[in-house]
Amino acid sequence: MLTREQTTDAGRATERRHPSAGGRGTAHRLRTRKPPRRQRSVVLTVLMTLPLLYSVFPLVWLVINSTKSLDQLYSGFGLWFGDDFALWDNIVGVLTYDDGIYGRWFANTLFYVAVGAGGSTLLAALAGYGLAKFDFPGRRVALAVVLGAVAVPGTALAVPTFLLFSKMGLTNTPWGVLIPLLVTPFGLFLLFSYAHEAVPNEVLDAARVDGAGEFRIFFTIALRLLSPALVSVFLLEVVGAWNNYFLPLIMLSDPSWFPLTVGLNQWNAQGSSAEGELVAHLVLTGSLLTIVPLIIVFLCLQRFWRSGLAAGSTKG
């Protein structure tokens, strides 16, 4: 008979001669091992569902009521469709009402967003990169000013900005809306924080040794490394410029320069006057058309935005 030690030695020798035998057993155990079950919380699901419903409900209400005529809008149930599907007629009415001024407002909004959001993102990238990678006198003071500006709401600066621009003769011009949009303290601070970690100093020093200038380094190297944060800042600025209301309201008096927010509010307010025409169905349909470009922008840039939000969460 074989002793226990001899049996153990024989088994080890068999594993050395046939290593696949032990591997098959290990692989079989790995395959049959069940993945850990995800824990589900009913309370957490309910708490997450309530904000979802709160966010989706106004959009659903807007879509439903944009398909109604003016009579059905006030006579039917607000959370269901009317007898006649009048969405196309409402769209035609929005685009043709008041000599088609909605198209002018839409073009103005695109202009403010393109110049304001694009310019503010580029300026924030330049300033954030400079604060993160260059040491100069007053650097800490500048950073403290930026942090303080983040805490100041834009509406608090609207009236002082109007008084300043009225002295400069910039009111009732596109510059009165564009210049404030070019300044984004939050975007600057976000890009400063991202550039401090995402742009290695060794790469910049290597580029300088190769003879590259600072602007070339920024536009060819730094911008590519900052692209996730740039998209995040750009999306935030697009939403802010697209929904900008209070500043254009006090800066502009010529309807031909109104953005969509101010123009649609003008349509909505004219129904409260004695001689004004009630066009609530056109206001709702125009509001629905207003959010379509934002949805398209988010869908096109969501992968860059999501990567920017997740950057730094893991280490390779």
Check pLDDT > 90 for residue 311. Answer: no
Q: What is the pLDDT of residue 46?
A: 83
How confident is the model over 269-295, as pLDDT tens digits?
Answer: 887 765 667 888 899 999 999 999 988
> What is the rounded CA–CA span in Å between residue 223 and residue 228?
10
Q: What is the pLDDT of residue 21?
A: 47
Percent of the chain's residues with pLDDT above 70: 82
Residue 185 CA from chain centroid, whole number: 16
> What is the rounded CA–CA span in Å between residue 26 and residue 15?
13
Q: What is the mean pLDDT of residues 36-55?
A: 79
pTM for this one?
A: 0.78
How confident is the model over 83-135, as pLDDT tens digits?
Answer: 788 889 989 999 999 899 999 999 999 999 999 999 999 999 999 999 999 98
> What is the rounded CA–CA span in Å between residue 43 and residue 40?
9
Check pLDDT > 70 for residue 52. Answer: yes
How confident is the model over 224-281, as pLDDT tens digits?
Answer: 999 888 988 999 999 999 999 999 999 999 999 999 999 999 998 887 765 667 888 8
Given pLDDT bands bounded at 50, 70 and 90, which one contains residue 38?
low
> What is the rounded CA–CA span in Å between residue 172 and residue 250?
9
Q: What is the pLDDT of residue 29?
A: 52
Given pLDDT bands bounded at 50, 70 and 90, which one contains residue 12?
low
Decide: 250 and 159 in contact? Cβ < 8 Å: yes
Q: What is the pLDDT of residue 75?
A: 81
How many CA within 13 A on the CB side of residue 281?
Answer: 20
